[in-house]
């Protein structure tokens, strides 16, 4: 009953969206999506699974299907800014095969949320990078693109309200840990800087991502900021970029790769939260 109700609501909002667009431009690419999903369904349904032979074990590998299983689900949420000028432009970018990029959701400036990939499928939003020991973030995360040009655009209340509604649903449904709501820049320091000037504090107050306390302890003399960054999750392969990414997320007003006393206090506070 509940899912029926949801589908009516979803359908009517989809219809509204279609009417708003006057002509629906994505019929052909929707078909591509459906065909891709069908081919994935075939791979999942095959028994025994195809192309899963263990190297050099030819006569000792068997298949017996278990009765107990589920679909893999995301454990992270990664937030981006689109660096585009409109929702239409973003949808176009994500429906052109040559761009190779997509996200599960796009949140527009007016609060409209467009889903482009089933939560259980892999969107192509994170690319190369590392957070903690996770390197294939696309395989374990939900990607959310916030439509924003990344320079002059402000974050609208409608956009952040819709994002929080989406995050609430995802966090509950997939049991995503509070610390696992991160930005693209956190995962790919030096390569990505999004989302920029993002209201992470507002999100953290609602349980999505960590934020530092208002009152900060002084930093012990033996505290190594690099260890702090590492414990939070940053990749230290290029330390200056790790500092920059940390500052894009938590400092924002200054993102030079130098840690001031205040930055170090923030870092120490977050380090302790991550222990």
Q: Are 271 and 227 contacting, i.e. CB atoms less than 8 angstroms apart?
A: yes
Binds Zn ion (CB under 5 A): choice among 76, 79, 80, 187: 80
Q: CB under 5 A: which stretch of 84-92, 93-101, 158-166, 189-197 binds Zn ion?
A: 189-197
x/- track of binding to Zn ion for residues 14-43 (CB under 5 A): ------------------------------
Task: Find the shortest distance in angstroms from Cβ 171 to Zn ion.
Answer: 20
Q: How remote is the C-alpha of 87 from its chain's centroid?
A: 18
Using the rule CB under 5 A, is 244 a contact of Zn ion? no
Task: Find the shortest distance in angstroms from Cβ 117 to Zn ion.
Answer: 15
> 185 or 267: whose CB is closer to Zn ion?
185
Burial 105-141 (b: 16+ CB within 10 A, else e): bbbbbeebebebbebeebbebbeebbbbebeebeebb
Q: CB under 5 A: which stretch of 16-24, 178-186, 200-208, 222-230 binds Zn ion?
A: 178-186
Helices (H), ranges, the chain = 2-21, 27-45, 87-93, 157-174, 184-187, 200-205, 225-232, 239-250, 261-274
Using the rule CB under 5 A, is 184 a contact of Zn ion? yes
> 14 or 140: whose CB is closer to Zn ion?
140
Using the rule CB under 5 A, is 186 a contact of Zn ion? no
Q: How remote is the C-alpha of 124 from its chain's centroid?
A: 10
Using the structure block, give the residue that is written with the tokens 């629906």: 24
Longest dimension (CA), the chain: 64
Using the rule CB under 5 A, is 147 a contact of Zn ion? no
The strand order across the sheet containing 141-146 reads 113-115, 105-107, 141-146, 76-81, 181-183
> 148 or 269: whose CB is closer to Zn ion?
148
Using the rule CB under 5 A, is 194 a contact of Zn ion? yes
Task: Find the shortest distance in angstroms from Cβ 273 to Zn ion.
Answer: 25
> 141 or 269: whose CB is closer to Zn ion?
141
For Zn ion, the binding residues (CB under 5 A) are 80, 184, 194
């Amino acid at each position: 009953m509940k899912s029926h109700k949801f589908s009516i609501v979803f359908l009517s909002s989809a219809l509204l969206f279609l009417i708003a667009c006057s002509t629906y431009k994505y019929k052909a690419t929707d078909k591509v999506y459906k065909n891709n999903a069908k081919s994935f369904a075939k791979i999942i349904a095959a028994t025994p699974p195809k192309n899963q032979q263990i190297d050099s074990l030819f006569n000792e590998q068997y298949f017996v299907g278990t009765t107990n299983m589920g679909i893999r689900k995301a454990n992270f949420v990664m937030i981006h800014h689109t660096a585009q000028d409109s929702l239409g432009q973003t949808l176009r970018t994500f429906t052109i095969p040559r761009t190779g990029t997509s996200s599960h959701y796009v949140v527009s400036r007016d609060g409209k949320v467009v889903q482009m990939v089933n939560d259980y499928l892999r969107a192509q939003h994170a690319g190369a990078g590392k957070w903690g020991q996770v390197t294939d973030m696309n395989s374990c995360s939900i990607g959310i693109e916030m439509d924003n040009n990344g320079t002059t655009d402000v974050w609208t209340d409608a956009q952040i309200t819709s994002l929080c509604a989406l995050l609430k649903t995802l966090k509950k449904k997939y049991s995503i840990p509070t610390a696992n709501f991160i930005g693209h820049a956190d995962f790919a320091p030096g390569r990505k800087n999004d989302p920029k000037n993002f209201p992470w504090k507002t999100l953290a107050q609602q349980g999505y991502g960590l934020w530092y306390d208002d009152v900060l302890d002084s930093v012990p003399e033996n505290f190594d900021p690099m260890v702090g960054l590492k414990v939070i999750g940053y990749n230290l392969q290029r330390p200056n970029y790790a500092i920059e990414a940390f500052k894009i997320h938590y400092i924002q007003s200054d993102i030079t790769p130098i840690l001031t006393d205040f930055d170090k206090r923030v870092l120490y506070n977050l380090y302790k939260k991550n222990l």
